[in-house]
Structure 1
């Protein structure tokens, strides 16, 4: 099953909106396998993956583990609700974020850019979805870096003003990079559906989708 939605696939970076860039196939198979292995390590207890409950009582279908800072709708904290320490932010992800920004924008982050210090590792099973939302918990406007592993998904990228149209649906496959900053930093975005069975067997993830979202919180260092 190919799951292709928007063939032919572009060969290089594609600007989806001002400041929002899709880079297909940015991660090679070896790097994908390494990140899948690391995600499994990060997801182990006691501060493992969990489904967050939203303020209105609903439970998210996506399972999440936070690194560096604990994300909960809609804030960051230093510890999990039960007092468990948040797992540290891996330097590797900070390095990847810098390289990702350079790949998307043609230049690395400036020397005075706020450091990337938080990551959300999201796991989508076949039924998981992510509603349209803004990444607005951060105190700085550094670009958000998103890495995809495993199954493909439909990634809906909207506008900064409303959850409605206009928006663009992008097929994100395993190994793809998506960066959004500048005028698109506060754009609504989400995942209306995944495409089960589309993962490359070489990536090390037999089913489901992993998304690593790397951000600069702008919060005081620990």
Structure 2
């Protein structure tokens, strides 16, 4: 049965941004099963930032496009730069859940073509950043939390704006777009813990409707100079 979205489950974070508490709970195990299958073909890896730093969060992707990073810049690519093969197709449960969450937050007609999958181990974090590599800025970001609880850092339009600290738990979904589309956001350092479904890890599914023509990205090293 789909998760019923009662008023107590929804938190308006800012105009255009909402937390849908527990929205992904009914599909959580299916999501985790698909993550394992995707990672078997495109293993989690610690990418390098354009500044030459190793990212503490491990990543992989699925969908028509995957998000990658290296000394050459942040970019979307139609092929995994490590294997040269195409990314795994986005599972139907991924796309359907992202579409339903976007609609519940006020963004109907969402059609993601990329899903960045992040794996957090205790001690890892994601510094404040913007998601700016997409060309379709009218489409929201849909972010699904699985496993260990974490603290979501929700900032403002400027990096210097002090962020709010919002707890995220297994099955929670955050959607932001419209006037909040380019707000800075991140994840505070993940504390140690053990989750019955994911062990010592937290997983995050970040869906994007890129607006990028896939045929133009046959070169996996094509770069987008904008930082996320």
Q: TM-score range by the shorter chain?
A: 0.7 to 0.9
Counterparts of 2:190 and 2:114, CA distance in 1 = 24
2:28 to 25, 28, 32: 32
Q: Which residue of 2 aligns with 1:208?
A: 201
Counterparts of 2:30 and 2:94, CA distance in 1 = 12
Q: Which residue of 2 aligns with 1:100?
A: 101
Matched, 1:19 2:16: yes
Counterparts of 1:206 and 1:11, CA distance in 2 = 28
Give the TM-score normalised by structure 2: 0.83
Question: 8 Å contact 2:145–2:204 — kept in the other structure?
Answer: yes
2:172 to 167, 171, 176: 176
Counterparts of 1:156 and 1:132, CA distance in 2 = 7
Give the Å deviation of 1:198: 5.9
Structure 1: which 4+ aligned runs deviate by more than 6 Å? none
Give the Å deviation of 1:25: 1.4
Give the Å deviation of 1:11: 2.2
CA 1:91–1:27: 2 relative to 1, 3 Å: closer
> What are the within-5 Å matches in structure 2 for residues 72-151 of structure 1?
72-73=68-69, 74-82=74-82, 83-105=84-106, 109-110=108-109, 115-141=111-137, 142-151=139-148
Partner SS, residue 44 of structure 1: helix
Give the Å deviation of 1:145: 0.3
2:153 to 151, 156, 167: 156
Give the Å deviation of 1:221: 4.3
Count of aligned pairs between the two proteins: 202
Counterparts of 2:214 and 2:81, CA distance in 1 = 20
18-27 or 181-190: which moved more?
Answer: 18-27
Counterparts of 2:78 and 2:131, CA distance in 1 = 18
Counterparts of 1:195 and 1:100, CA distance in 2 = 27
Give the Å deviation of 1:127: 1.4
Counterparts of 2:12 and 2:147, CA distance in 1 = 23
Question: 8 Å contact 1:152–1:196 — kept in the other structure?
Answer: no
Counterparts of 1:131 and 1:59, CA distance in 2 = 13
